[in-house]
Structure 1
Amino acid sequence: MAGIKIAEPTLQEIVQSLLTAGRPDKIILFGSTARGQSTIESDYDLLVVENTEQPRHLRAAPYRRALKNLGHPKDILVWTMREITEWQNVPNAFITTALREGRTLYER
């Protein structure tokens, strides 16, 4: 069964909104939408890579605010490159799957 396609203008809107909210080094769409297997209930899974010292639980707030009018569910995770490096080779870690199956939408 084919997934619901996400329109390129929507992806561009997401990237532009995220760029106004912070200084991401990379934005990756992952999960069912990136794999082309999304359904009407699917959300946008976004990994934002950013060089920050802020605690992980506070990092996504400005990005969530930037996408609040998107009208579609989203899950935004913000990781540093150091954290990704530490976890990327751990079997069954979500970051491994996100990096392997994800679609890079933006890279500085």
Structure 2
Amino acid sequence: MRKSHGPAFRAAQFDLAKCPACRGKAVITGVFHELACVQCNASGWVTAETGEALPLEVLVTQLSIRLQAAEQRLELLGRPAIAVGPEAQYNENNRRGPGATNYTGD
């Protein structure tokens, strides 16, 4: 390992797994009501390697990293496809029709 002074430049991303005690639901069913899961600090997530609960400060950072990555993937999937070639020319307004409307040649 290299010596370093101060905090890391980037937050390290840990592999998370669903809590085996509550199965990722953050609560355990008691006799009369649901109780907060003690094993995962009522988050539903533990470290994949050790199965231990993360400290709340680290957990918030890890969940934020995962949420941002998921939002980025959804944004990429939701973008409309950009038309290229003849399709692009057919769909855009070329102002060659009557009253400067689109003329497609059909």
Scaled by the length of structure 2, the TM-score of the pair is 0.21
Higher strand share: 1
Q: Which structure has the larger Rg? A: 2
Flag the structure with higher helix content. Answer: 1
Q: Compute the TM-score of the two structures, normalised by the length of structure 1.
A: 0.21
